[in-house]
Amino acid sequence: MHTLPLWFLILSLLLPRISLVIAYFQHLTGFSLSGWVPPALAILISRALILILVFQDRGFGVWLLLHAIAITYTYLSAGSGSKR
C-alpha cells in the first residue's frame, strides 16, 4: 500500500528539506523519534532520508529511480563549483 502522497513525491524532488518538514508535521513519515530530532536530521541529510522513505513506501520503481537521479545530480554538481 502506498502511503506517501503524490504531492510529497513531486515536491521532494525539488525542495527536499521543506517537504520532509511538512510531512513530519502531518505525520506522513512514520519516524519513531519525537521532538526536534527528525526535523534536524531532515535538514542535514534530506535526500538520503527521502530515498529511504520512497524505498520503504514504493520499493524499487520509477519514483526511486527519479529520486536516485536527483540525489546523484545534486551531489555531483555541488562539487563542481565555478573554477577560474
* Span 25-79, pLDDT tens digits: 887 766 555 667 766 777 788 888 888 888 888 889 999 999 999 888 888 887 6
Domain count, the chain: 1
Looking at the domain assignment, is residue 2 inside a domain? no
Looking at the domain assignment, is residue 68 inside a domain? yes
Looking at the domain assignment, is residue 63 inside a domain? yes
- Residue 10's pLDDT band (boundaries 50, 70, 90)? very high
Mean pLDDT across the stretch 5-34?
A: 81
Helix %, strand %, coil % of the chain (to 5): 70, 0, 30
Looking at the domain assignment, is residue 4 inside a domain? no
pLDDT of residue 69: 92
HSE toward the beta carbon, residue 67, CA cutoff 13 A:
24
**Residue 17 lies in domain:** 11-78
The model's pTM:
0.75
For residues 51 and 67, the answer to whether their CB atoms sit within 8 Å is yes
Looking at the domain assignment, is residue 1 inside a domain? no
- What whole-number distance in Å separates Cα of residue 35 and Cα of residue 73? 32
For residues 43 and 25, the answer to whether their CB atoms sit within 8 Å is no
Looking at the domain assignment, is residue 31 inside a domain? yes
